[in-house]
Amino acid sequence: MLKTLKRFIRRLLWFLLIILTIGLLIPQNIQMPVTGATNADFNHQSFWYYPWGRSGTHKGVDIFAKKGTSIKSATTGLVLYSGQNDMGGNIALVLGPKWRFHYYAHMEDVEVKRFDWITKKDNIGTVGDSGNAKGKPAHLHYTIATFLPHFWRWDGSPQGWKKMFYMNPIPYIMN
């Protein structure tokens, strides 16, 4: 009995390890999600900017564009959530390669549904000013978070330990 259980657990762990590894090996190939946006459309110092309202630090990048500009998926992935929250307004959360989460916020329209499988050719939605961007210039807030902690990125900045879970998206979206 115990032997069977041990064997089962061992097989389960191997299975999980293989799934995890496959995810890590998928290349990211991140693209600038806002159609037509250039390096001049975002502040290159805005990641982890402090102080930043209720969030404390800014855990992403804001890409400015005309309201209604289409937003393509930055990577291939699986939509985990699309809907609304207080701060983000109209949002979408996509699980992409390397077990990283891609978060799109302040959209005007959301054009994906939960469990949609999407590629970089698919529209996530359009740029807007929903959530706490109301009254500010329209922009996409874009965050990349990692499920596997990057311990070496922890530093002494405000909320510095959270850097284990947030990637700086700026190097990835430069064009």
Binding site for Zn ion (CB under 5 A): 62, 141
Cβ closest to Zn ion, residue 102 vs residue 141: 141
**Pairing state between β 100-110 and 123-127:** antiparallel
Q: Report the distance separating Cα 170 and Cα 151, nearest Å.
A: 20
Question: In angstroms, what is the minimal distance from the CB of 4 to Zn ion?
Answer: 51
In terms of CB distance, is 141 or 163 closer to Zn ion?
Answer: 141
Which structure tokens are listed for 18? 């293989």
Backbone angles phi, psi at 10, to 5 degrees: -65, -45
Residue with Cβ nearer Zn ion (30 or 47):
47
Supply the minimum distance, in Å, between the C-beta of residue 21 and Zn ion: 32
Residue 172 CB, nearest distance to Zn ion (Å)? 16
Q: Which residue is nearest to Zn ion (CB)?
A: 141
> One-letter amino acid identity for 156?
G
Cα–Cα distance between 109 and 10 in angstroms, integer? 45
